[in-house]
Structure formats: structure tokens, C-alpha cells
Amino acid sequence: MAIFKIEEIKEAPTSVKGPIRWILNNLVSSPLEVIFSLLILAFLYISIPPFVTWALIDANFIGTTKAACTGDGACWVFIIHKIDFFIYGFYPESEIYRINLMFALAIVFIALFKYTGKDYKTKIAVFSLFPIISYFLLTGGSFGLVEVPTDKWGGLMLTLVISSIGIVFSMPIGVLLALGRQSNLPIIRSLSIVYIEFIRGVPLITILFMGSVLLPMFFPEGMTFDKLLRVLIVITLFQSAYIAEVIRGGLQAIPHGQYEAADSEGLGYWQKTLVIILPQAIKVSIPNLVGNAISVFKDTTLVLIIGLFDLLTMVGLTSADSHWTGFVTEGYVFVTLIFLIFCSGLSKYSKVLENRLNTGR
């Protein structure tokens, strides 16, 4: 009779773990890495201490006027005083509660969407209700709410509206384009290829300008076309071409055996695509899809070309105030921090989603 002896699991020896070993393996393992490590440390030493001194140690946080900003440090009083412009743009002050309510509803709906488990009916209802409620809250004109034209929208609120709508609506269009590019029907495949290659070959700023100037020409004379709606259409159509290529890459990564297995079950084209193939393709494409979402969020800064005032544009407008001239650097640092927080959050969520859906482990 065999007797198995269970030995106690021992920790790894100190010679292969710990901070010293990490430094030896990653920073000084070769002469070239030593040089690069020293250059990076020198750059950090030259740049970080002066920035910390300017942004925190010598900075001014308390006050209500420009006179409160003394010394050579940053004047965060300017950001505090102009924070409403950075977040809400020119939205009427008496109606700002509607934007705050929309932000609060977004948190509630995200929590419901996350913690409802596999209750897909609730998820679909939440996903459908939030944009409808947000539309009536922001635009007004019904349910006793004062109408606020879109030219009053701006700041972080406008950036989030444009990027979120562009991300959400470009996804289904991009999926259809990816499927169309792989279609066996020559007309559908050719039209999808022409659209994708044309959009990807033209800069977004050019398409925004074309959408602002040329799009109204296709409508009857006297018909007004909201400027923000033009931007939403252009960004959605532009981003859908990139989503299509990401999804197509995911479709090509699926083993051919998955297609054969679906065919052997007698599934039709749409059943096979929606139930078997597409979920796997999207799972594989998550990093690139999130990368595209981050790109959309940053590309909203280009809407300045057609007269919309996003978060970055508000820096120039607020710093042009005669009472607060000379603090544009603080504005750009603040906007950089906002973009860093949102983009890093998307990146972290992408990693969590990848781990959760990593069924191949």
C-alpha cells in the first residue's frame, strides 16, 4: 500500500523574491538597463520635486479673488472659483440640479446594472431608461422643466454626453459593419469595406467640419439641425468604422471549429452569430474596445472646431476672464487630471472585465 507524505509548503527563498531581487532583475540586470534607469531617475528628480512644490507646497487654495494668489505656486483658487464652468459650461445656474440629478441616476443605474446578476430584462430596462430620462432632464421643455438649448451645454457634462453616446451607439453599428465585411454577399461586403476604409482614411476633425457645413445642405431649406446632434452623428459614424475593425479581428481569432460546431447543431446564421461567435469575439476584443472608448473620450476635445465648449475649451474661456488672467496652466493641469482619472478608470475596468470573462483559465 502506497503511503503519500504531505510536506509543508515552504516560502520561496529570499534570493528569488523581494524588492532587492526585483531591482536586480528589472533595473540593473544589464549595462543598458542601468543607463536607462539612471536617466529615468534623473528625469524624475528634475521634474517631480519642482512640480510638487508648485502644485502643493507653494500653492494657494483659499480665497475668492485673484489677489488671494500670492507667491510662485499654483492658484487653485481659480479652479475652485470656476469649477461650475468646468463641469456645467453655460448651463443656467438655477437648472444645474438637473445635471447633478443625472449624475446621481447614472451611479444608481450602474449599480443596478452591475448587481442584478443574470436578470437581463432588468439590465435592458436600465440600459434603455437612462438615456431617455437623461434626455428630458438635460433638454427640458416638458414635465414642467425649463428648456435649455444645447449651445448652453459645456464643460465636463458635454464631454461625457458626447463620449458616452458615441461609444454606445457606435458599438452596434460597428458590429454590423464587421459582419458585413465578412459577408458572402458581394454588395454588402463591398459597401462595408468602402465605408470602413473611407472613414479610417480621413481625420475626425475633417469629418466634423464636413458634418457641420455639408450635412445641413441635405435637408430642406429652412430646416434647422442642432449642432450637437451633428457632432453625435459624426462621432458615432466615425467611431463605428474603428469598432468594426476591432470586432473583425475578434471574429478572425475564433477557431473555425466553433463555426462547425454551431452548424452541426443546426443553428441559423443569426443564431450562430449572436449566441456562439459574437460573444467570444467581443470577449477577445475587450482591450481594443476599451482603447477605442478612451480614444472617443479624448477626441471630444475636437468639437471646438464647430463651436461647442467641451471641458478643454472651457480652460481658454475661463482664463480669458479679465479678473482671472494668467492662470491657464492651472486649468490645463486640472483638465489633465480629469482626463487621467476617467481614462485610467476605463482601463482598470477593462482589466477587471477581462479577468471576469477569462473562461479559458
pLDDT in tens, 270-321: 888 888 888 888 888 888 899 899 999 998 888 888 888 888 888 888 888 7
* 42 plus 182 within the same structural domain: no
Residue whose entry in the numeric block shows the C-alpha cell 505656486:
73
Q: Cα–Cα distance between 85 and 80 in angstroms, integer?
A: 10
* 141 plus 207 within the same structural domain: no
Range of the domain at 134: 92-147
At residue 186, the 3 state secondary structure works out as: helix
Q: Which amino acid is at 344?
A: S
Q: Cα–Cα distance between 240 and 174 in angstroms, integer?
A: 4
Q: What percent of the chain has pLDDT over 90?
A: 26
Average pLDDT score over residue span 88-99? 91
* 349 plus 228 within the same structural domain: yes
* 136 plus 258 within the same structural domain: no
Structural domains of the chain, count: 3
* 271 plus 134 within the same structural domain: no
Q: Tell me whether residue 118 is in a domain.
A: yes
Task: Indicate the pTM of the whole model.
Answer: 0.84
**16 pLDDT exceeds 80?**
no
CA proximity to 237, closest of 161, 141, 173, 323: 173
Per-residue confidence (pLDDT) for residue 170, from 0 to 100? 92
Span 237-266, pLDDT tens digits: 999 999 999 999 888 888 888 888 888 888
* 312 plus 190 within the same structural domain: yes
Residue whose entry in the numeric block shows the C-alpha cell 486649468:
331
* 53 plus 128 within the same structural domain: no
Q: Which residues contact 207 (CB under 8 A, 6 or more apart)?
A: 199, 234, 237, 238
Dihedral of the alpha carbons of 156, 162, 137, 337, in degrees to the nearest 10: -20
* 232 plus 261 within the same structural domain: yes
Q: Which residues contact 167 (CB under 8 A, 6 or more apart)?
A: 239, 292, 293, 296
CA proximity to 152, closest of 301, 315, 308: 308
Residues paired with residue 60 on neighbouring β-strands, in sequence order: 75
Q: Tell me whether residue 23 is in a domain.
A: no
* 272 plus 227 within the same structural domain: yes
Q: Cα–Cα distance between 330 and 325 in angstroms, integer?
A: 11
Average pLDDT score over residue span 22-50? 82
Burial class (CB in 10 A: 0-12, 13-18, 19+), 106: middle
Q: With cut-offs at 50, 70 and 90, classify the pLDDT of residue 15.
A: low
